Amino acid sequence: MGKSGPAYVMTPDETLGWAYLQAKVIKGVLTWNTPLGRVSVDRLRDHVKARVRYQHGRVAVTEEVTTNGYVAQTPVSLTQARLFTMDKTAQHQILILCLKAIRFADRTHTDPFGYTRKLLWQYPGQLSARNLGQQDVLPIDAQIRVKVHLRGEG
């Protein structure tokens, strides 16, 4: 039987961040307000490239989250410059969600991403469960890069 500890529940933002980091977003939606009105982006899908390595007693993770979607609502007509600005705003929002999920994992000493398990599979000879000592889960150092590609509906 495996160890069981206290149960932790992620907030909705942390859950969304986890979904982006795990490439589980299929029909995502982001909305935000601008001085001119509300912007809504939908049909978001993401792909993730992740690299996990062991470094100084921590899990060092580099993730690249690439997200595609469509602008569903905008208060003004779309131009390339406005679309670029919307890409950047969506990137920022997704990055914040991802960082919230990473902070949750570090704060609760959990690994909802499976990074420690990936390390054990990658380095079976050098790193084993008993080499981790009393730690079941290692602290996470994450570098996250988010790319967003939005298109207009028309």
pLDDT in tens, 71-105: 999 988 888 898 999 999 999 999 999 999 999 99
Residue 152 to residue 142: CA distance in whole angstroms: 32
CA atoms within 13 A on the CB side of 96: 9
Enumerate the β-bridge partners of residue 34: 37
Per mean pLDDT, which range of 44-53, 74-83, 95-104, 126-135 is the poorest? Answer: 126-135
Per mean pLDDT, which range of 19-33, 38-52, 77-91, 113-127 is the poorest? Answer: 113-127
Whole-prediction pTM: 0.88
Residue 52 to residue 38: CA distance in whole angstroms: 38
Closest CA to 31 of 45, 42, 23, 16: 42
